[in-house]
Structure 1
């Protein structure tokens, strides 16, 4: 948690506090803090749930092979924060999360693994497999400018063509006040960045 395995680090008991807070957040994905209600369900995971999980699988798998345990912990903290924000309850996601954390926090992992209904030890579970398709963005957000001045942002399908983007921008109701009484000279689309409408 304090840094790379090979680096010398000052031992500080205050560091335990950060680990404890993180493990409490991890535990809260499975149990409601006040009522102790068990939260995981058979609900289908959302695209965001799967994106957070597979980013973590990729990072932790690579980090373990490189002995970069401290950056794994950092990745766990980010993923747990994202999944908590998404109110993820999908057992399919949370079960893989338990397997990923087992090498780092074996006792908590074992406890949660059995709470999820597994009879064997988490140590015998298959390691989650990273699937790059879950990290492919389905949408991109572009800034829409008129004569170089940014006015609003708009989302488009990641595979939208320049013509489709241009048509959507010109048809958008937010564009109407900037286009009123003006002539569109040209529309410049900078992929994954900006759409600039030149008017006079």
Structure 2
């Protein structure tokens, strides 16, 4: 058998072994994480875009109480300052900081709704509240989809045979999933005796 012929028989074996080492599956899984992250970012941006309209509606209806409005505005500003790129998704501290800033927006929006029960009759407020609630639900779905993509990616880069290609060819690091907000296990307090 000639050397060229032996090489011809050996090439498919090499290609098959490389394919089994995550050469294609690792970048595919990473792209799924990045796509899920991009979708989640668009939901956070939608919420951020809705907040100024909500704040202006509340200002028009309730001039006497400004502290909750300031809290919502500050939470939005703080969250806007914290940026997280796909390259940062393997840094637990950066993901935690981003997550905490986004959770502050959610908490301030909840306090806003509790502080102004009389706004429930304002149609503009009701429309914006509905849009924000829809966006919050989309954020929850986006976070779940992101976490599932991260789980798939992390599993792929840690299990044989893909772990070989992940380390050798890509230097892959685990991505950081979102965790529940502090106190998320506690049900919110409902008070119908608001003054």
TM-score, normalization by structure 2? 0.27
TM-score, normalization by structure 1? 0.26
Greater strand content: 1
Greater helix content: 2
